[in-house]
Amino acid sequence: MGVGPSTKETTMHHFKDPLVRVFGNDPDIDFQGVIVVGTPQDNVLKNLVGQRVAKWLKAMRTNGAVLSADGWGNSDVDFMHTMECIGQENISIVGLKFIGKQATFVVTNEYTPFVLDINKSASGTETTVLGENNLDARDAQKALGLLKLKMRADQQKVD
């Protein structure tokens, strides 16, 4: 499956996660927290975990979310499905994922245009260089900016 060295998120990456750093420091959003979700092998479970994420956000009255993946390939199915489930709950959703030239979507839907590419390599491929295509603070800022625009376009109501 598709987790290569250049996109792999190490333990250190989670500890210093640029998404949490950027989202946690913006006074213009109310940052509720981080949901960690896995990628099951089984299709029934794949559907179920995506739905559970969406229902959880709905229950927290969340206006917008960013979904980020530590891999690509078959996990795109989980990724696009989770985006769809969240979108169907009228929650604004944007994605961050390695795409480049090698990892164009295995599956697409109406949410695909709101996925930003974190590729950094000139070749657009899995370079096997640890950390090279990792999500960084700039990607996090881009995602936050896009999410703000998306929430405005979706006319999200803040309670």
Partner 1 sequence: MADETLKIKEFVIKDVQFGPSYSLSEHKLVIPQITPETIPETFRKVNVTIIHPHHLDVATDSIMDVVPISTKVLGTLGTGVTHTLTGVSMIITGSNENGKQIHDFGSSDGTLSKQMMLNKDGTPDENDFIIMFNVVLKSQVVMDRQMMTTVFSYADDYLQPIREILKKTNGRYADYNHEYSNTVHPGKPKVVVIKQVSGQGTMYDNILFPQEPNGIKGGISIIDLNNFPVLLTPNEYRDGAIHALV
DSSP code of residue 129: -
Which contiguous run of DSSP H or E holds residue 139?
helix 137-153
- Does the protein bind partner 1 through residue 34 (CB under 8 A)? yes
Nearest distance in Å: CB 46, partner 1:
8
- Does the protein bind partner 1 through residue 136 (CB under 8 A)? yes
Instruction: Return the structure tokens found at 110.
Output: 């109406």
Distance separating alpha carbons of residues 54 and 87, to the nearest angstrom: 8
| Binding characters for partner 1, 106-135, by CB under 8 A (x = yes) | --------------------x-xxxxx-x-
Q: What angle do CA 127, 34, 3 make, to 5 degrees?
A: 20
Nearest distance in Å: CB 68, partner 1:
6
In the block, tokens 């657009």 appear at: 124
- Does the protein bind partner 1 through residue 62 (CB under 8 A)? yes
| Binding characters for partner 1, 72-111, by CB under 8 A (x = yes) | -x-x--xx--x-----------------------------
In the range 139-158, which residues lie near partner 1 by CB under 8 A? 147-148, 151, 156, 158
DSSP code of residue 133: T
Angle between helices 75-88 and 43-59 (to 10 degrees): 40
Interface residue with partner 1 among 43, 47, 61, 116 (CB under 8 A) is: 61
